[in-house]
Structure 1
Amino acid sequence: MAGLDKTTLTKMVCVSRSMNRREIFMDIIRQFTKQTNDYKNMSEEELGEKIKEFLKDEKYLIVMDDVWHVEDLELLKIVFPNNQNGSRVLVTTRDFEVARHADSYGKPHALRFLESQESFELLKMKVFRKQRFPAHLELMGRIIAQKCYGLPLAVLVIAGVLDKERQSCILGRSGGRKSYTNTQSRKPKLQ
């Protein structure tokens, strides 16, 4: 499910529905070197071997984001050496079978939606930080949080917009560069 904040962990390789193995391998190589011209004419197998070389003595975290098919996972994971040094490959997917296949123990971690109260708490924390949340805004805050349908990303985006508006209001009242005026627009008459 999109919007559950799976991709904010680190830089990653996005797999997506129409996987292009060569492009993914080139994306991985770009993480190691800016000199990618040397690799443009290599086959997928050669690129895979180069990735193995880069990773063989390193501790790494590879995030493969949005893997749609078990077959795609199989075609990609062969380039990640199991060097027994704590390296990990993290896979995000919308498909339970892909997740089950990716987890060596067969117990993938399923992200959940936020409860309404959790969404509200996240909204309050992001907009007002350590300041006290104004009681007169609680009902509106709860409605906004509920409209985010438990998606943390939606809460964070809305919180960012609200925080920007709040900062504009504070600057306007304190004589800052921006001015805030309460403009209640007149409703047009229906004809």
Structure 2
Amino acid sequence: MTGKLTVIVGPMYSGKTSELLSLIEIYTLGKKNYLVFKPAIDVRYSEEHIVSHTGLKAPAIRVSDSIELFEIFKEKQGSLDAVFIDEIHFFEADIIQVIEKIIYSGVNVFCVGLDMSYKHRPFITTAQIMGIADEVIKKKAVCHICGEYKAVVSYRKVEETDSEIDVGGMEKYIAVCRDCYSKLTGKFKQ
């Protein structure tokens, strides 16, 4: 029997990692075997844990790319029930084939990541993973400007680089709704 792919997406501060941590807790309580991965680039709060913005955390294996993730998975493959991957948007497109191999081996996969960059453009890796998912959970956040629970975009407050891959927290990013994003950037004005 194949595994199931669940993808949790949304802007920063929408509770994506908190939801992933809740799913990890369910597998822990059920005495299931699993692996938790995070991209090596993400060292914001911890190098050895995935950590929510509220401080909840779980031990994780840092990997530099999808090849390393798959090598670790293959070592444990026969005994696993699930694989959890945080910050999926930081992985290269090859992660899609790795996830497919994992789910076709009978292991459930749970991925969390941003669906859009601060430039209001889809992260290609996340979009493609959403396309093959069994279930997509799209979260939103409270807008840091107007206070409404309709934020779907991460807005970068500081211009350090033009790169869409730029790890940071509240010092760099806030969650905003489309109306406030348009006001802040001048884009999409009617």
Rg larger for: 1
Same fold (TM over 0.5): no
More helix by share: 1
Q: Give TM-score scaled by structure 1 length.
A: 0.36
More contact order relative to length (CA 8 Å, sep ≥ 6): 2
TM-score, normalised relative to structure 2: 0.36
